[in-house]
């Protein structure tokens, strides 16, 4: 390999992508791909130091500032961070620290602060006599853009500190956007035909670089402080003390920052943050490990573009690029036809992805996706991967448009897209795909939770025509199951026992399992509380359904039509003959402890599952909400509660901790906590 030529190629490549990432906020490649190129350059330059030049991307932190803003020269450079990707990398980081400091130091001499690496835009805030004087971006590390007016619109940035006696401090931190705010912003941009932001970092950067601060003010940005330009400006002797001091001044700091007595503790903390990352309201893409003691930071000093005393340990990338090979169309249990992208297999977030949802026709048309496109794909936690956007600059003219079918890909019935709806549907009630999906739902955890009849088992039974509709489930026999591939006497007995146990489900659970359109868990609960038996519900009128608070015209019409369908009535006759009888619903009584109260849960519960908590509410006469509304009376806030908590407080709703909620249940009385 011609090393000098490869280094030139990498530098040009990185300069172009850094310009698109840092300056234009419109990346063509994922963070993971950029890191791979950058690490290759670092490795080659380390092996051939004679080829390192001052203008190499390895020698500067970020992109050049934009000309449209006034330039700000940082008194002290805003450096970038070197990267780590594993526990071994963190141990190697400590080994380098010990070698640099001196040979008589040991790992016991070092302690660290571990802080979440928020995926946002680095900024500097200058305060004089406690007042915000100037704010700027990191830019190229030496100088950035003056965005003081834009930063002043961010409510979490104090315009005055709590200590006005400080002559001057230069605070460094991150401006970022919550996941929900990014989703809402991209939805607005889809409607107006504007390009989508690929990730929260680009959205934050694009929002701060608006010449009109009023636009920035609408973007729901947040700020977290993580450091200061010069620690001698503070009374602190460590990073841990500094974060506490910054918080006391009124600056927001991360609640997830954690002291670590050793590098092993930091490695453990990295695993904890990796497990937490997808439950947070905002995106973090790794963890920053810093030597805690300032006197050691000063001894360690800086390299050309990064401090020696800190390192960013990055999570597996949740975004990457790949090729959209083809599109197939899946039919769901309600007839919804969903386009699914078939991708060239690629690793995203530690998992190999070859399929991603395209949601509906409006979505792929607004994003102008085409078969053959290079596309940006993202995956967060257990969420189904999705295609964020096409990289249009990589098109070569051979890409083909995605064509929505006019007829069902399974039963060939004509498809319908109702006015005002984004979803295209197969309206044939006998469509095999809908019937199979309905059967899978009926047996799933969201339905009657019949153990042993998961997706694969139900597909097998459906394809063999042993189960073609719901009553067939309750007519299965041992001799039919035991001889099937993958089955045996024991598995057949277990499934039949689970089916028998499911013959008398609670009415609300049974209604949810039926998969009636617009009838989810909350609506099923309302029906259970209103009608004493299934028979009463089957003969009710449309008018009666519309009188139930919480059930709208769409749901009422769907329920009424469902129970007046002749095939549905025949199904219930067969179920009754098989011994299936839903238990009578518990109608609300005025003297039940939660009668008339409506609850919503947010955040993570520690002693109860959501299912257990909702059951407690229903058993005690309460109702369950799915969003914050005026009708909701109580919000139960678990750990890491998000935007729902803020909105509930704004509406003056009663906020309960999980413990207060349990006390209210057990004592039958309300503890009012604002």
Q: Three-state SS for 193?
A: coil
Cα(661)–Cα(60) distance, integer angstroms:
53
Q: What is the DSSP letter of 21?
A: I
Residue 233 has pLDDT above 50, yes or no: yes
Establish if 403 belongs to a structural domain. yes
Question: Tell me, what's the pLDDT at 25?
Answer: 57
Higher local confidence (pLDDT), 599 or 411: 411
Question: Tell me, what's the pLDDT at 19?
Answer: 63
Q: What CATH number does the domain containing 9 carry? A: 1.10.287.610
Percentage of the chain beyond pLDDT 70 is 93
* Pairs from 508-513 (Cβ < 8 Å, separation ≥ 24): 508/585, 508/618, 509/447, 509/448, 510/448, 510/534, 510/582, 511/537, 511/582, 512/446, 512/447, 513/441, 513/442, 513/446, 513/447, 513/448
Q: Alpha carbon of 33 to those of 44, 141, 315, 348, 496: distances in Å?
A: 17, 22, 13, 11, 51
Residue 424 phi, psi dihedral angles, 5° rounding: -95, 135
Cα 453 to chain centroid distance, Å, stands at: 30
pLDDT digit string, tens, across residues 17-69: 776 765 565 677 777 788 888 888 888 888 888 888 876 777 655 555 556 78
Angle ∠(448,452,454) on CA atoms, nearest 5: 70
Question: Tell me, what's the pLDDT at 672?
Answer: 36
pLDDT digit string, tens, across residues 412-435: 999 999 887 888 999 998 899 999
Whether residues 365 and 475 share a domain: the answer is no
Whether residues 332 and 462 share a domain: the answer is no
Whether residues 309 and 337 share a domain: the answer is no
Cα 206 to chain centroid distance, Å, stands at: 21
Whether residues 410 and 502 share a domain: the answer is no
Establish if 64 belongs to a structural domain. no
Q: What CATH number does the domain containing 345 carry? A: 2.40.50.140
Residue 193 burial by Cβ neighbours in a 10 Å radius (0-12, 13-18, 19+): exposed
The DSSP secondary structure of 303-364, one letter per residue, reads -SSSBTTEEEEEPPPSEEEEEEEEEEEEE-TT-EEEEEEEEEEEEETTEEEEEEE---HHHH
Query: Which residues on adjacent β-strands are paired with residue 351?
Result: 348
Task: Give the closest residue to 172 by CA, choosing from 85, 83, 262, 234.
Answer: 234
Cα(271)–Cα(282) distance, integer angstroms:
18
- Indicate the pTM of the whole model: 0.53
Question: Tell me, what's the pLDDT at 107?
Answer: 77
Question: Tell me, what's the pLDDT at 186?
Answer: 84
Q: What CATH number does the domain containing 442 carry? A: 1.10.150.20
Cα(173)–Cα(341) distance, integer angstroms:
38
Confidence of residue 410 (pLDDT cuts 50, 70, 90): very high
Higher local confidence (pLDDT), 190 or 297: 297
3-state secondary structure 270-288: HHHHHHHHHHCCCCEEEEE
Confidence of residue 585 (pLDDT cuts 50, 70, 90): low
| Residues recorded for the chain | 674
Establish if 362 belongs to a structural domain. yes
Between 201-210, 546-555, 601-610, the lowest mean confidence (pLDDT) is in 601-610
Q: Which residue among 117, 290, 618, 653 is the active-site one? A: 117
3-state secondary structure 441-490: HHHCCCCCCCCCCCHHHHHHHHHCCCCCCHHHHCCCCHHHHHCCCCCCHH
Whether residues 351 and 498 share a domain: the answer is no
Percentage of the chain beyond pLDDT 90 is 49
Confidence of residue 209 (pLDDT cuts 50, 70, 90): confident
Cα(15)–Cα(18) distance, integer angstroms:
5
Q: Which domain holds residue 26?
A: 3-59
Between 122-126, 224-228, 328-332, 633-637, the lowest mean confidence (pLDDT) is in 633-637
| Contacts of 356 by beta carbon, 8 Å cutoff, 6+ apart | 340, 341, 343, 377, 384, 385, 386, 387
117 in active site? yes
Query: Which residues on adjacent β-strands are paired with residue 538?
Result: none
Confidence of residue 670 (pLDDT cuts 50, 70, 90): very low
* Pairs from 94-97 (Cβ < 8 Å, separation ≥ 24): 94/263, 96/308, 97/291, 97/300, 97/308, 97/309
pLDDT digit string, tens, across residues 273-320: 988 888 888 989 899 999 999 999 999 998 878 899 999 998 877 788
Average pLDDT of the residues in 431-450: 94
Establish if 584 belongs to a structural domain. no
Residue 632 has pLDDT above 70, yes or no: yes
Cα(144)–Cα(123) distance, integer angstroms:
9
Whether residues 438 and 552 share a domain: the answer is yes
Average pLDDT of the residues in 439-462: 94
* Domain termination site, one of 520, 543, 577: 577
Establish if 592 belongs to a structural domain. no
* Domain termination site, one of 577, 607, 639: 577
Cα 579 to chain centroid distance, Å, stands at: 43
Q: What is the DSSP letter of 195?
A: P
Q: Alpha carbon of 498 to those of 430, 438, 493, 504, 571: distances in Å?
A: 27, 19, 9, 12, 21
* Domain termination site, one of 299, 314, 329: 314
Question: Tell me, what's the pLDDT at 669?
Answer: 45
Residue 582 has pLDDT above 60, yes or no: yes
Whether residues 139 and 280 share a domain: the answer is yes
pLDDT digit string, tens, across residues 526-551: 898 888 899 999 999 999 998 887 78
Q: What CATH number does the domain containing 88 carry? A: 3.30.470.30
Residue 588 has pLDDT above 80, yes or no: no
Whether residues 152 and 134 share a domain: the answer is yes
Average pLDDT of the residues in 541-567: 89
Whether residues 169 and 233 share a domain: the answer is yes
Residue 347 has pLDDT above 90, yes or no: no
Question: Tell me, what's the pLDDT at 617?
Answer: 82
Establish if 673 belongs to a structural domain. no
Whether residues 351 and 260 share a domain: the answer is no
| Beta carbons of 618 and 599 less than 8 angstroms apart | no
Question: Tell me, what's the pLDDT at 117?
Answer: 95
| Contacts of 117 by beta carbon, 8 Å cutoff, 6+ apart | 284, 285, 286, 287, 288, 312, 314
Q: Three-state SS for 605?
A: coil
Establish if 523 belongs to a structural domain. yes
Backbone CA torsion sign across 303, 291, 232, 172: positive
Q: Alpha carbon of 576 to those of 332, 342, 580: distances in Å?
A: 27, 43, 5
Confidence of residue 103 (pLDDT cuts 50, 70, 90): low
Whether residues 306 and 334 share a domain: the answer is no
Number of domains observed in the structure of the chain: 5
Residue 667 burial by Cβ neighbours in a 10 Å radius (0-12, 13-18, 19+): exposed
599 is written with which tokens?
């609850």
Residue 165 has pLDDT above 90, yes or no: no
68 is written with which tokens?
């449209």
Question: Tell me, what's the pLDDT at 671?
Answer: 37
Whether residues 511 and 541 share a domain: the answer is yes
Establish if 589 belongs to a structural domain. no
- Average pLDDT taken over every residue of the chain: 87
| Contacts of 640 by beta carbon, 8 Å cutoff, 6+ apart | 276, 279, 280, 281, 603, 604
| Beta carbons of 242 and 228 less than 8 angstroms apart | yes
Residue 430 burial by Cβ neighbours in a 10 Å radius (0-12, 13-18, 19+): exposed
Q: Alpha carbon of 184 to those of 82, 187, 319, 357, 594: distances in Å?
A: 33, 5, 19, 18, 34
């Amino acid at each position: 390999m011609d090393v000098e030529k490869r280094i030139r190629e990498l530098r040009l490549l990185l300069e172009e992508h850094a310009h698109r990432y840092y300056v234009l906020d419109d990346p063509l490649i994922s963070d993971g791909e950029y890191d791979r190129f950058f690490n290759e350059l670092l490795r080659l330059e380390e092996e051939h130091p004679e080829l390192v030049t001052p203008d190499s991307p390895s020698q500067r932190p970020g992109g050049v500032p934009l000309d449209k803003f006034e330039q700000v020269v940082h008194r002290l450079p805003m450096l970038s961070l070197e990267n780590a990707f594993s526990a071994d990398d963190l141990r190697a980081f400590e080994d380098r620290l010990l070698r640099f400091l001196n040979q008589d130091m040991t790992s016991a001499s070092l302690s660290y602060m571990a802080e979440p690496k928020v995926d946002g835009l680095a900024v500097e805030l200058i305060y004089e006599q406690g007042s915000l004087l100037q704010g700027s971006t990191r830019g190229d590390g030496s100088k950035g853009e003056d965005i003081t007016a834009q930063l002043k619109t961010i409510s979490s940035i104090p315009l005055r500190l709590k200590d006005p006696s400080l002559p001057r401090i230069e605070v460094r931190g991150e401006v970022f956007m919550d996941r929900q705010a990014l989703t809402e912003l991209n939805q607005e941009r889809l409607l107006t035909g504007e390009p989508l932001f690929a990730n929260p970092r680009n959205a934050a950067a694009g929002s701060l670089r608006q010449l009109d601060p009023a636009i920035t003010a609408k973007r729901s940005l947040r700020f977290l402080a993580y450091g200061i330009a010069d620690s001698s400006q503070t009374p602190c002797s460590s990073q841990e003390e500094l974060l506490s001091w910054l918080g006391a001044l009124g600056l927001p700091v991360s609640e997830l920052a954690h002291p670590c007595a050793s590098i092993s503790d930091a490695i453990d903390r990295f695993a904890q943050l990796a497990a937490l990352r997808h439950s947070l309201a905002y995106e973090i893409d790794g963890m920053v490990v810093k030597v805690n003691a300032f006197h050691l930071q000063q001894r360690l000093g800086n390299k050309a573009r990064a401090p020696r005393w800190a390192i960013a340990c990055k999570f597996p990338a949740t975004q990457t690029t790949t090729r959209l090979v083809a599109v197939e169309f899946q039919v769901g249990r309600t007839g919804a036809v969903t386009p699914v992208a078939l991708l060239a297999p690629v690793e995203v977030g530690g998992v190999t992805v070859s399929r991603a949802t395209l949601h509906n026709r409006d979505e792929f048309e607004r994003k102008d996706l085409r078969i053959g496109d290079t596309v940006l794909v993202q995956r967060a936690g257990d969420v189904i991967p999705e295609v964020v956007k096409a990289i249009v600059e990589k098109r070569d003219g051979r890409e083909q448009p995605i064509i929505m079918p006019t007829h069902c890909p399974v039963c060939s019935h004509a498809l319908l897209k109702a006015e005002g709806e984004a979803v295209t549907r197969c309206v044939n009630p006998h469509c095999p795909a809908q019937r199979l999906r309905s059967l899978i739902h009926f047996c799933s955890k969201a339905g009657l939770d019949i153990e042993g009849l998961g997706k694969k088992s139900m597909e097998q039974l459906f394809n063999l025509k042993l189960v073609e509709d719901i009553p067939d489930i309750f007519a299965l026999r041992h001799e039919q199951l035991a001889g099937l591939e993958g089955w045996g006497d024991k598995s057949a007995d277990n499934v039949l026992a689970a089916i028998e146990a499911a013959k008398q489900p609670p009415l609300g659970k049974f209604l949810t399992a039926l998969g009636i359109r617009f009838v989810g868990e909350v609506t099923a609960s309302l029906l259970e509380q209103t009608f004493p038996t299934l028979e009463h519900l089957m003969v009710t009128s449309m008018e009666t359904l519309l009188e139930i608070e919480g059930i709208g015209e769409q749901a009422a019409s769907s329920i009424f039509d469902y129970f007046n369908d002749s095939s549905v009535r025949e199904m219930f006759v067969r179920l009754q003959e098989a011994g299936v009888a839903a238990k009578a619903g518990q109608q609300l009584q005025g003297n039940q402890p939660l009668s008339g109260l409506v609850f919503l849960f947010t955040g993570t519960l520690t002693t109860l599952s959501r299912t257990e908590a909702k059951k407690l509410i229903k058993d005690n006469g309460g109702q369950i909400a799915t969003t914050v509304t005026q009708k909701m009376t109580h919000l139960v806030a678990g750990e890491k509660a998000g935007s729902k908590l803020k909105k509930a407080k704004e509406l003056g709703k009663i906020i309960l901790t999980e413990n207060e909620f349990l006390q209210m249940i057990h004592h039958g009385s309300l503890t009012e906590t604002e």
